[in-house]
Structure 1
Amino acid sequence: MDNATLDEVRVAMDCTPTKKGFRRLQALLWLYEGKSREEVAALSRFSLRQVLRFIKAFNLAGLDGLIPGRSSGRSRILPKAQVAEKIVPIIEDPALAGQTHWTAVKLHGWIKEHLQTQLGYSTMVRYLHEQDYKLKVPRPWPLKQDEELREAFCVKLRAWQQNPQTDVWFCDESGFEGDPRPRRTWTKIGKVRLSPYLGEHIRHNLFGAVCPADGRLTAMLFNLCDSASFQVFLDTLAQENPQVPGRRAIVVLDNASWHKVKRLNWHHFEPEYLPARSPDLNAIERLWLRMKADWFNGWIAKSAQELQERLIASVQSLFEQPAILQSQCRPKTSL
């Protein structure tokens, strides 16, 4: 064994990054010290056959032959470029492959048949994850939207936001139930997880308006949604956010009937109505989803007072965290 000195073996033992490499070099050190191969096998808990293999590797490649490196593994069956070129388009549009939808099993079968490859199922899923795909439940989407009106509204919204003298508010109402809809949760197979409910119609409506640019929020609780309640909310909104000379204050909201009553006093705010069936363009909708997920997931109200107190606590937490309002309610300015 002339491929390294004893000192070089000791230095390599100190520097090797893995326990496996250290044990191999230690076996080599014992051989240098004059121990027999059988003694080294007993001390190192390697088999005699492994010790002989280490000696052969050392004689062929020196110390590098004993230090394990990262295995390159098998080469990819489909390069990333080929996945992006041949698989991603049919995921986006199943009709290109004569399908209406994909399941992972169906997609795997199609790839094996049409691309003539022995791609494994788990490898296919990994390739999809590399392309930033994951299984999601589609959100119902109305077909009667006017895309031209929606695009025109996005253009106006971008212009308002780019104007430093314009404040854009997003306004909406949301109902909060005492018996929320159960959400998916991890459950052991064979067991039934129960979600208790009272069955009583406990409900509060939350009116809100948020200015994502600086995180300002105005919110009020009401028992019902009508023009009278909405006028009280507008009065509070104007009182908490008085007019600033030289600045515009635009309120984006949907086409609910109480939003369009002619006798409403908008104070210094300018109402701008969303295109029909376009809740995705109202940034405050994401705030309602965040509140329900954080505060009302699996929570049951035993009385209207308890529901009201929970709502007040959730709104107060938002008042204290304007950064969340700014990030959560970032407006969508393109389709």
Structure 2
Amino acid sequence: MPRTRIKIIPHLDYAELTQRYRRCREVKERTRWLVIRLLSRPGKPMKVEQVGEITGFSADWVRKIARSYNALGAEGIVDGHQKSPGGKQKALTPEQQKQLFERLQSPPDDGGLWSGPKVGELIKQQFGIHIHRTTAWKQLKRLGLTLQVPRPLHEKSATSEQRTFFKAQLKFFVRLMRWLCPHKQVEVWAQDEARLGLKPVVRRTWALKGQRPISHHYPRYKWLYTYGFVHPQTGNSCLFILPRVNTTVMQIALNAFATQINSRKDKLIILLVDQAGWHTTRHLIVPQDIIMYPIPPYTPQLNPTECIWPMLRERLANKVFDNLDALEAVLIERCQWLMNNPMTVKGEVGFSWLCSI
């Protein structure tokens, strides 16, 4: 006999549940708030089984969380360690945590980078409290800090204001072209090149605990270049493998793209490109019905084509190729797969600000 749908007692309204879910920093507690939020969705609350599929919990565990919330309200969701932390976790008062956070905004005394042991030593010196390095890590997380690799950003990259202006300017230009060319279908595409060669590509991979996977290396410096054209709104793409990057080869790729995408001459393509010399030179003959639209210099994050290269390099990861012919065969297979799976590509290149133009 099927079980009845669980009814959630409205200790908190849906808006408050949403706020609790979004603000929560503890992963497990955050997931429990998500369970209650999904079961309390106005108009059409989810079934227990659906919630389990989304959260990764079993149906019985979802019911247990719901019963706990119904009985205790928010207290039934909050992590027990937060409500009654151990003695070492209580070591720092709110004022001391504030002072610690402010100190962590500048480098340590040795000029290097913060680590668990360094934070533990800082707490010892500043507050006279002895804690283990593991507890020091927990203090960092409690302050809302996470260990991250900084994203590289060129010093000459466009500022936030310049990027916003570029997006608004592009939107205006597209609307203008649609008004001037009502008989044409105006589409925004993006183009970029990627260098791929015999230098190995190393990527993380799953392995059994205690076993270190091996990636064989034989570095050589011979290259092929993939010219990529992507349409963010649909995920359609055109990929060409060519021997080098220069104006002559760019001309070949551009002509092939125009022939493949606009054979009926019923489209106007606005093509986003970076400001590489072979894109901006006067010697490049741009096909009719294509407008080259340069993005700000040193700002690749505005070019959605950049997002397709990790999917291309994924196929080459942790492999050694004897020569460029062997590499090219794998690249052709991967490029064909990407072109035949536009929805997968769209998931990477479908920038919301471009799709809304």
TM-score bracket for this pair, using the shorter chain length: 0.5 to 0.7
Paired with 2:205 and 2:90, the residues of 1 have a C-alpha distance of 36
Paired with 1:314 and 1:269, the residues of 2 have a C-alpha distance of 27
Say if 2:137 is the partner of 1:125. Answer: yes
* 1:122–1:332 CA distance, 2 compared to 1 (3 A): farther
Paired with 1:214 and 1:269, the residues of 2 have a C-alpha distance of 18
Per the alignment, residue 281 of structure 2 pairs with 261
Matching residue within 290, 297, 300 for 2:311? 290
8 Å contact from structure 1 (residues 176, 205) kept in 2:
yes
- 1:267 deviates by 2.5
Q: Which moved more, 1:165-174 or 1:219-228?
A: 165-174
Matching residue within 62, 66, 85 for 1:74? 85
Equivalent positions of 1:217-296 (< 5 A) are: 217-242=237-262, 248-263=268-283, 264-292=285-313, 294-296=314-316
Paired with 1:162 and 1:103, the residues of 2 have a C-alpha distance of 51
The one-letter amino acid of 1:286's match is: C
* 1:240–1:186 CA distance, 2 compared to 1 (3 A): closer
- 1:280 deviates by 2.2
8 Å contact from structure 1 (residues 83, 127) kept in 2:
no
8 Å contact from structure 1 (residues 243, 268) kept in 2:
no
Paired with 1:139 and 1:110, the residues of 2 have a C-alpha distance of 27
The C-alpha deviation readout for 1:222-244, integer Å capped at 9, x for no partner, is: 01111121112112222222288
Matching residue within 126, 129, 153 for 1:141? 153
SS in 2 for 1:94: coil
8 Å contact from structure 2 (residues 188, 269) kept in 1:
yes
Matching residue within 316, 325, 330 for 2:336? 316
The one-letter amino acid of 1:275's match is: P
The C-alpha deviation readout for 1:131-151, integer Å capped at 9, x for no partner, is: 764333334432233536444
- 1:125 deviates by 2.7
Paired with 1:158 and 1:118, the residues of 2 have a C-alpha distance of 58
Say if 2:109 is the partner of 1:109. Answer: no
How many pairs are equivalent? 263
- 1:174 deviates by 0.6
The C-alpha deviation readout for 1:134-193, integer Å capped at 9, x for no partner, is: 333334432233536444324435667899965321211111112314446789999997
* 1:106–1:266 CA distance, 2 compared to 1 (3 A): farther
8 Å contact from structure 1 (residues 94, 102) kept in 2:
no
Equivalent positions of 1:169-180 (< 5 A) are: 169-180=189-200
Cα RMSD of the aligned pairs, angstroms, is 4.2
Say if 2:326 is the partner of 1:306. Answer: yes
* 1:247–1:180 CA distance, 2 compared to 1 (3 A): same
8 Å contact from structure 2 (residues 216, 319) kept in 1:
no
SS in 2 for 1:209: strand
* 1:101–1:211 CA distance, 2 compared to 1 (3 A): same
Say if 2:169 is the partner of 1:156. Answer: yes
Unaligned 5+ residue runs, structure 1?
1-69
* 1:197–1:158 CA distance, 2 compared to 1 (3 A): same
SS in 2 for 1:297: coil
* 1:248–1:201 CA distance, 2 compared to 1 (3 A): same
- 1:206 deviates by 0.4
8 Å contact from structure 1 (residues 77, 119) kept in 2:
no
TM-score by length of 2: 0.59
Paired with 1:248 and 1:131, the residues of 2 have a C-alpha distance of 51
Unaligned 5+ residue runs, structure 2?
1-79, 179-185
Per the alignment, residue 41 of structure 2 pairs with none
Paired with 1:164 and 1:116, the residues of 2 have a C-alpha distance of 68
The C-alpha deviation readout for 1:198-236, integer Å capped at 9, x for no partner, is: 454442110001111110101101011111211121122
Paired with 1:281 and 1:314, the residues of 2 have a C-alpha distance of 24
8 Å contact from structure 2 (residues 222, 324) kept in 1:
yes
* 1:83–1:179 CA distance, 2 compared to 1 (3 A): farther
The C-alpha deviation readout for 1:104-154, integer Å capped at 9, x for no partner, is: 332343345446656653344345446764333334432233536444324
Q: Using the aligned pairs only, state the percent identity.
A: 19
Paired with 2:229 and 2:315, the residues of 1 have a C-alpha distance of 19
